[in-house]
Amino acid sequence: MDTRRLFRSSATAVVAVGLLISGCSSGSSSPKASASDAASGAASGTASAGSAAPEGGAGPVDQAALKKYYDQKLDWRSCGPSGFQCATLKAPLDYAKPSGAEIDLKVARKKATGPGKRLGSLLVNPGGPGGSAIDYLTGYAGIGYPAQIRARYDMAAVDPRGVARSAPVECLTGKEMDAYTQVDQTPDDQAETTALSAAFKKFAQGCEKRSAKILPHVSTVDAARDMDIFRQTLGDKKLSYVGASYGTFLGATYAGLFPKNTGRLVLDGAMDPSLPARELNRDQTAGFETAFTSFADDCVKKSDCPLGTKSAADASTRMKSFFHTLDAKPIPTGQSRKLGESLATTGVIEAMYDESAWPQLRDALTSAMSGDGAALLAMADSYYERQSNGSYANLMFANSAVNCLDLPPAFATPKDVEAAIPSFEKASPVFGEGFAWASLNCAYWPTKATGTPHRITADGAAPIVVVGTTRDPATPYKWAQSLAAQLSSGTLLTYNGDGHTAYGRGSDCIDTAINTYLLEGTPPAAHKKCS
């Protein structure tokens, strides 16, 4: 198991539509807004008055040197599924040295279909960090968002730097990742603790070896600044945006940096930027415990529940016991990899993102408890975005690179983890120990963190809708409450339900509130609740 503060929407794992981007470069289409609009202060990267360091430690940027990036014209070309276009957006590799090296960022869009007056572009990001926004656009948002939204907006996305098509961070080979994902993350003795630390070190060293140039420049602040350049090249004076999971942190960071350029922002499955890494990880541990309890409550009502039919508490005890069994003796899966505790735990975690996966998890646990780990292994592979040929998408590599740059590490040494395990186990008897050890990964990272915990107020921004789900595993509901309270123009929209994120997941109440906001600019009533 390796959670690595993975904050992605449940849709991220199921969209994998490729685009033919390699031939795209900066070129010829004309944006409607001038670069002078950006240079008037929006491109400076300075915080809005009254915000407590919304950049999370980012320094000032030479706005004059950024003018050429805001002035660039994109060469849009048809690619991928019908109606989609791709291009390459250029940005400075290092915003502190904007006249230096450049980075190529892959972008995509699908133009508004009509009828109705065009409202501009709607950027989307599915989270991660490390989820491909372009895959999300082409596999879901650009074809599955409500027709009235797609009629009025050009649907658009940029793979953030370090992710997928945009100078992707690379760390380990497929075989090395296979070995890494099987390392015991609930060490029972010093030898196992040493082995886990060695695995984290090897991962970090692999990232440094293969991606040293990009590693210092993949922070959320960098990605937010890239989005403002993209906004300008699209011809939009304001950024309209739907961000899910980690995408809410990216959107909130944008609002803190560029409040005057902030249009209609939906932050669904919100993160709390004010929390340090250890608290984020412990809160997420509690979130997955809440989600598992909800799953267990549902499971024990069914006669075929593999965790028994007594109570959710009894089911949790049985789940933990089964993990211990797999720790001692992994079971076969029909391939060379066996299912041990780490992969089994990851498979269970994967199902917590979306309650529609609960029947699949029941079946997988039934099989695993009968000695066949194939189904639960497949769920773990989905979490890690492992391909059928044994290769891995760069999700986990980019995830570590961004997280370890955005915040100082949760723990510095294994002894720090050992001291904190009781508090993590209090947050989650089922997952606590493993989540605590997984939080050690950034201790060995080769690039020092540039971000810090910080509140974001985004003074002067237009109304921002923050969405929280009461039993969300990956982004606990209290984070949405906190972010909505921090943002000077934030409005909290609550979904009383299960799963990760809320928009487009079956609640007419949620969908209507968000669609109305995106189409008319009217946020829902304060503290509106849906089920």
Q: Which residue numbers are catalytic?
A: 245, 472, 500
Six-digit token string for 353:
């993102």
Tell me the DSSP string of 170-187. ----HHHHHHHHTS-SS-
- Cα separation, 157 vs 122, in Å, equals 8
- Cα separation, 389 vs 375, in Å, equals 17
- Cα separation, 211 vs 438, in Å, equals 22
What three-state secondary structure class fits 221?
Answer: helix
What three-state secondary structure class fits 495?
Answer: strand
Six-digit token string for 511:
């969908």
Pick the closest to residue 239 from 494, 49, 226 (CA basis).
Answer: 226
Residues 6+ positions from 246 with CB-CB distance below 8 Å: 7, 8, 125, 127, 128, 129, 131, 271, 402
For 407-472, where are the alpha helices, taking DSSP H only? 414-427, 432-438
3-state SS track over 383-408: HHCECCCCCECCHHHHHHHHHHHHCC
- Which pairing describes strands 120-125 and 239-244: parallel, antiparallel, or unpaired? parallel
Does residue 456 contact residue 483 with C-beta atoms inside 8 Å?
yes
| Residue-wise burial string across 9-34, b where 16 or more C-beta atoms lie within 10 A, e elsewhere | bbbbbebebebebeebebeeeebebe
Phi/psi of residue 43, each to 5°?
-85, 0
Six-digit token string for 345:
């735990």
